[in-house]
Amino acid sequence: MKKLVLATALFVFCLGTNSYADLGDMTLKPGMTHKDIAELQQKLDILGYFDYYEYTNYYGDKTEAAVRKFQEEYGLKVDGIAGKQTISYIKAKVKQIQLAKEKEEAEKQLAASIQQNLKSLGLYTGDITSVIDEATKEAIKAFQEKEGLDVTGEADDNTIARLNELFPKPVEEEKSTSLVSSRAFVDFTRKYLGKPYVYGASTGKAFDCSGFTTYVMKNYGIKLERTASQQFKKGTPVAKEDLKPGDLVFFSANGKTIGHVGIYIGDHKFIHASSSKKQVVISDLRTYGDKYQGARRYIELNYEEELEGEKKK
């Protein structure tokens, strides 16, 4: 049975999880009544600790028991009180589950896309199952052999990049050309911090490096080629000392082939979907040394607006 939410908490839930931004700012104890308790119960339920037919604003015996069980299993002080540390652990575990689900969904979408593309090439004859099974791997091998790629049967970066070149995704019509503030642009990119890295993904739920840049720029009406090397070939070249937020920065592991791309956000930092970190992260450009190969500008932002905002602070 789906859990119900009491009327006193219903409005808050309709606003989404952002309405609970203050969860963890105060200690929740047995006997208390507070709107955050309903969210605490919801998160404990996601983790399998809270078993009741509804979420309430009251911290009763069932909530205390659920908190105690969680604390015991994760080596925390077992007192049945949801303090800052306990809530922080609960949030982190829920986030892990959410990211795992998003990654699983992105991988299914990618698998379905691969199967559909290989079917279009006459290399795959099975059903679209959203699973890279043995039949799909054999079709991938046939594709890799045909395209002169390493024959592994795995949907690796080069294979996905080649499929994306053959089957580019349609791009929406360009949006208004009015300049967006660089601050708003950077804030938009930061929304995706922590999203999982998945080969070939550009869904908003998961990305590879060029999938992330493509997705972000598409939101501002900019059509990019799908691979990092293709994106490097176009755009306006920008000297390192002239970098501005929104510029794409490119890297190479061997000093020859462009293999990675990110988005510069200012102060020597760039945001990117990192294959090594397995998620979207912010890194310091200075730590990449001679791996840095250059930058390209695809979008003009309103940098003056940001400077004016800084002056008013």
Q: Is residue 90 domain-resident?
A: no
Closest CA to 189 of 263, 251, 297, 242: 263
Judged on CB neighbours under 10 Å (0-12, 13-18, 19+), 312 is exposed
Domain extent at residue 124: 99-166
| Same domain for 307 and 186 | yes
CATH number of the domain to which 129 belongs: 1.10.101
State both tokens at 219. Answer: 């939101």
Instruction: Mark which of 82, 107, 135 sits at the end of a domain.
Output: 82
Q: Is residue 272 domain-resident?
A: yes
Q: Is residue 173 domain-resident?
A: no
Instruction: Mark which of 166, 195, 221 sits at the end of a domain.
Output: 166
| Same domain for 262 and 187 | yes
| Same domain for 245 and 131 | no
State both tokens at 291. Answer: 């791996």
Torsion of CA 288, 293, 294, 295, to 10 degrees: -70
Q: Is residue 239 domain-resident?
A: yes
CATH number of the domain to which 292 belongs: 3.90.1720.10
Other CB atoms within a 10 A radius of the CB of residue 134 amount to 9
| Same domain for 289 and 189 | yes
Phi and psi for 270 in degrees, rounded to 5? Answer: -140, 150
Q: Which residues pair with 207 in a beta bridge?
A: 197, 202
How far separated are the first and last CA of the chain, in Å rounded?
Answer: 51
Q: Is residue 87 domain-resident?
A: no
| Same domain for 162 and 272 | no
CATH number of the domain to which 16 belongs: 1.10.101.10
pLDDT of residue 292: 94
| Same domain for 293 and 201 | yes
| Same domain for 158 and 51 | no
Instruction: Mark which of 166, 191, 224 sits at the end of a domain.
Output: 166
Q: CA–CA separation, 143 vs 302, rounded Å?
A: 45
Residues 109-146 have pLDDT tens digits of 899 999 999 999 999 999 999 999 999 999 999 999 99
| Same domain for 159 and 132 | yes
pTM: 0.52
How many domains does one find in the chain? Answer: 3
Q: Is residue 25 domain-resident?
A: yes
Sole residue written with tokens 């604003």: 57
State both tokens at 54. Answer: 């509804």
pLDDT of residue 145: 96
Q: Is residue 89 domain-resident?
A: no
| Same domain for 304 and 194 | yes
| Same domain for 159 and 72 | no
- SS3 readout for 242-273: HCCCCCEEEECCCCCCCCEEEEEEECCEEEEE
Residues catalogued as catalytic: 209, 260, 272
Q: Are 206 and 198 in contact (CB under 8 A)?
A: yes
Q: Is residue 224 domain-resident?
A: yes
Identify the segments of the chain with pLDDT beneath 50.
Answer: 1-21, 171-177, 306-313
Residues 62-93 have pLDDT tens digits of 999 999 999 999 999 999 999 999 999 999 99
DSSP calls for 41-71: HHHHHHTT----SEE-SB--HHHHHHHHHHH
| Same domain for 248 and 155 | no
| Same domain for 229 and 261 | yes
Residue 32: strand, helix, or coil: coil
Proportion of the chain in helix, strand, coil states, percent, rounded to 5: 45, 15, 40
CB-based contacts of 255, cutoff 8 Å, min separation 6? 290, 291, 293
